[in-house]
Chains A and B, each alone.
Chain A
Amino acid sequence: MGVAEEIGFVLLALLGGALLTAGLERLLGTAERGPARPLAVARATALPNADRWLLPAGPISGLAGVLFGTVVIPFGPTLIGRDLGIGVFYFIVVIDFVVLGVALNGWGASTSDAVESCYRIVAQLVSYIVPLGLAYVGAIMMARSLVTTTIVDAQSGLWFIVLQPLGFALYLVTGLMQSYRAPFLEAFSDRIGGGVLGVVGGGPALVWRVTLSGLLFLVAAMGAILFLGGWSGPFLPPPVWMALKTYGLMALMLSLGHLVRPLSTAEMLALSWKILTPAGLVNVLIVGILILLHIGPA
């Protein structure tokens, strides 16, 4: 693919994925919807105290994060924006731009709810990043590669969900944290009027809708790549399998998340450091033992 085709493919994948995600979330929606809450696009909120440089930088940074992230998601053996040599690590890093975007927009808007949103999302970043990384590490160790297509190829015999059930469970929880869906929607909760989403309108509101739906789409797609064998499957063409696994995983994550009451930021941090991080280390240990016993891909 040429550069123009790659850019077009990435845009199409992100927009299509975000659209389907928004539809699925509408189906599975509960009372408190967090980042998927209805947005008032026609609203123009007066922000007299706004920092007029940081405010517009927020949505740009968020959208850039999901766009860059889509680049390394493979929908088939060759159907990928750009197969980077450090693909998975790159993915973890660029998704952080969404957090930066919410923080910039929240502080820039300078209403107490939006600033609260900024504080909470940074605390959430601190709580999910370590266990999420440890969940990735299990799959990376077995595939012996950071390249997304190689990780999918390594699962041609057996999916990593069978070999690493603990890692998959860890990914379910930290993936929900990373995509701010229930029960980890504190940064966009109704108590603070949706935080950043409560003050944006017009273009930025649309951008945040694409960004936050696209974020859930990307998290689910990466889960399908790391643990469910990506595009591989019989009879159907690869992109269909990839979509099926992505949205199946997304539906599982959303419905499991709705079973738990929403957690506060402090509870989330406690959960992360006391339970998830030790569980992630145990997972790495188990995977290491499995590799030493020659169980897994050759």
Chain B
Amino acid sequence: MNAANIAEIIAFALSAFIAVAGALGMATTMSMFRSGIFLMASFMGVAGLFVLLSADLLGLLQIMMYIGGMLVMILFMVLFMQDPGGAMMADMPDMMTPVGKIFSLGLKQNDPTGTGPEEEGEGRDGDDDNMGDMDMSDMAMVTPAYRWAVWAALLTAGGLVALLLLRPAWPLASGALDPRSAERIGSLLMDKYMVGFEGAGFLILIGIVGAVFMARTGRHGAKADRDSRSAIEDTPPEIEADPLTPLAGDIGQTGPGGAA
């Protein structure tokens, strides 16, 4: 075994580790931002595997799509989630899985006041008083389907490993690799698979135009109509026969986006 072979094995091990550990971290960490970054790392591990298989163009395409795409997606998550930095969840280790504890290390704050990291206002009203009112099912990483998802993932992984063991004679590609693979992929996309390729692009364009069309105010969609579709009511109906004494000054801070 020469040096090139050893380097290849090390590169494979590293890429595979990044791909698997990134996926595990994505599903278990308590920080939504981290979760997106872990997913990106996982895809980069897969891109490393592509490069090892001499599909360097595909590997780079993968990296290009996911750096930009994931960063934008993360920003949208930060806009809509209550605890994107995971600081609040990190204070509740009881709710985490053992793996989740590992991937949430370094999030727990040694801050006696209990305020989370500054997520542009949202994290700041995460005081302990509000915790009980918050709907936990809305939170990032707590979902009743979690247990099922873990079992499904384990079964799939077991099936794949079994496939690997039961079918030991994998066909190996023979012959020299094509040095002009980039050119051939381009020709195929613009020639044989042009309808599918352009069709997918056109669908995405329609989606973008539709989103812009629906988001714009004024000419389309009356204002009153929009208000009636609003999810948050300005004045919630009073709860009848409420045995609890109302908290002073607590109104208006419990809903999603209560930083107003």
Contact = CB atoms under 8 A, between A and B. Distances in A.
Interface of A: 48-54, 57, 84-86, 89-90, 92-94, 96-97, 99-100, 103-104, 107, 110-112, 115, 119, 122, 125-126, 129, 146
A85 B34 contact: no
B152 to A, nearest CB: 28
Given A52-B106, A100-B71, A112-B118, 20 more contacts: A48-B110, A49-B87, A49-B111, A49-B118, A53-B106, A57-B37, A84-B56, A85-B56, A85-B179, A85-B182, A86-B182, A90-B56, A93-B60, A100-B67, A107-B33, A112-B120, A115-B119, A122-B72, A122-B75, A125-B71
B109 A49 contact: yes
Contacts of A125: 68, 71
B118 A111 contact: yes
B64 A96 contact: yes
B186 to A, nearest CB: 10
A152 B182 CA distance: 20
A112 B123 CA distance: 12
A90 B60 CA distance: 7
A84 B87 CA distance: 43
Nearest to B103: A53
A96 B87 CA distance: 28
A51 B85 contact: yes
B134 to A, nearest CB: 20
B46 interface: no
B182 A48 contact: no
A146 B182 contact: yes
B89 interface: no
Contacts of B118: 49, 110-112, 115
B255 interface: no
Contact of B56 (A53, A86, A97, A103): A86
Contacts of A126: 68, 72
A54 B37 CA distance: 9
Contacts of B75: 119, 122
